[in-house]
Amino acid sequence: MGVIRRKAGWRWGLVVLGVAVLCALPAIASALPVSAPAVTAGQLRARILASARLSYSGYAESDATFGLPSLTGLSDVTSLLDGVTKMEVWQAAPDSWRVDVLSDTGERDTYQTPRSTYIWDSGSELLTRIVGQPGIRLPRAADLLPPALASRLLQEAGTSARMTVLPPRRLAGLTASGLRVVPADPASTIGQIDIWADTANGLPLAVQILSRGARHPALETQFFQVSPWTPDRAILTPQRGPGTGFTTTTAKSLQGVLNNLDPQLLPEALAGRPQDLVPALLPVGVYGKGLATFAVLALHGSTGFHLLSEAQAAGGTPLETATGYGVVASAPLITVVLIRPYFPSYQYYFRGIYLLAGLADRQVLEQAAEELVSRPGEGY
């Protein structure tokens, strides 16, 4: 009996050891030396941008630690910027894709077609068709996928950013070449961006963004599984089950807090940075270039006042100038300033709140806020 027990013990010990080895395979694979063909930073940047045409499917997770409070009308955005977002993606083209956001309570699926967007909410069992493409929209989970995020950051950084090649890594079972991007503008809140892309085709597999002086990423997103995909209409077309609801709306009606913008005239420059006139973004004012850009919104009605009071209650830093008062809310990578003129502007007929937000540092945004409320017709 003792011999039998010993043999059984060894057998089960081998089973446990085998399971441990299987579980450790991804970690072992990632620790093995990786080699990749030599490539320059410019060549790798070009490959990453060209990968937008690729069709692929996979599973990715983003992990953000911005420390933002949940604000009325913006809770969907702040949840993306704090915590882990789990996503499945199927992409046929930049304007034809599907992204499912998974959670413990269900999933929220977004289907993008050239003409419309569909959103399926499993909790409410409702499929919503959104007609048209808004000039202004809030961030969504699909923006955090490595390919979308890497492409946007590289385009915003431009060719003036300092770029260097990083040692290759193994990600999602693939050999990935690394590219580090350091913004050219010292006023940018971004210290560095690290992008790893599939050496074979340039598809971004992981992105890490660090704020200036930080040792850990404020935002990182990574594929854990990804592969080429032959587009399948059945997967890219939303399917309604029996008893589920359906509604249609327009892109404009889903802009939430952005519908409360005041179309008043904004100055041509703020804090020494000219306004970049983008007709599709009006009435939002966009100032500066690249990874130090910031936007200015003039909020009328109760929206701005609610945001100001919530930011104050959340512990924002008070801001007071000779002609206005407000609050500064700084988080990794993002600076937000809300400011109200002491007296309404009779020249511009504006009696609301200015919201300034972007990738420029606090000093730049505070200067811009002060200039806004001290214009002729503002303040005293």
pLDDT at residue 70 greater than cutoff 80: no
Instruction: Round to whole Å and give the CA distance between 261 and 259.
Output: 6
Asked if 98 and 58 count as a contact pair (C-beta separation under 8 A), the reply is: no
Q: What is the pTM of this model?
A: 0.82
| pLDDT tens, residue by residue, 151-208 | 999 999 999 999 999 999 999 999 999 999 999 999 999 999 999 999 999 999 999 9
Q: Check residue 144 and give its pLDDT.
A: 94
For the chain, the distance separating the N- and C-terminal CA atoms, rounded to the nearest angstrom, is: 97
Does residue 129 contact residue 247 with C-beta atoms inside 8 Å? yes
Is 90 exceeded by the pLDDT of residue 80? no
Q: How far, in Å, are 13, 81, 135, 277, 355 from residue 261 at the CA level?
A: 66, 23, 13, 16, 10
- How much is the mean pLDDT over the chain? 83
- Please state, in angstroms and rounded to a whole number, the distance separating the CA atoms of residues 275 and 286: 6
Task: Using pLDDT thresholds of 50, 70 and 90, give the confidence band for residue 220.
Answer: very high
The reply to whether domains 41-252 and 261-373 share a CATH topology is no
Could you read off the pLDDT of 302-355 as tens digits, one per residue?
Answer: 777 888 888 888 778 999 998 889 999 888 888 889 999 886 554 455 668 888
Strand order in the sheet with 204-211: 162-171, 174-182, 190-198, 204-211, 219-228, 56-65, 82-93, 96-103, 106-112, 116-121, 126-131, 245-250
What pLDDT shows up at residue 270?
A: 94
Partners of 179 in beta bridges:
165, 195
- In angstroms, rounded to a whole number, what is the distance separating the alpha carbons of residues 82 and 192? 20
Give dist(CA 145, CA 152) in Å, integer.
11
In angstroms, how far is CA 125 from the centroid of its own chain?
Answer: 26
Task: Tell me how far apart the alpha carbons of residues 65 and 195 are, in angstroms, rounded to a whole number.
Answer: 18
Look at the domain 41-252 and name its fold: outer membrane lipoprotein receptor (LolB), chain A (2.50.20)
So what's the pLDDT on residue 347? 47
Q: What is the DSSP letter of 341?
A: E
So where are the chain's domains? 41-252, 261-373
| pLDDT tens for each residue of 132-158 | 776 666 788 999 999 999 999 999 999
Q: Report the pLDDT value the prediction gives residue 376, as an integer from 0 to 100.
A: 64
Question: Helix (H, G, I), strand (E, B), or coil: what is residue 44?
Answer: helix
One-letter identity of residue 197: A
Q: Which of 144, 163, 153 is nearest to 89 (CA)?
A: 144
Instruction: Mention every residue, 6+ apart, whose C-beta is less than 8 A from residue 28.
Output: none
The percentage of residues in the chain with a pLDDT greater than 70, rounded to a whole number, is: 77
Contacts of 320 (CB under 8 A, 6+ apart): 326
11 confidence band (pLDDT: 50, 70, 90)? low
Both structure tokens of 127: 């499929």
What fold, for 261-373?
Protein Transport Mog1p; Chain A (3.40.1000)
Give the C-alpha separation, 52 to 36, whole Å: 22
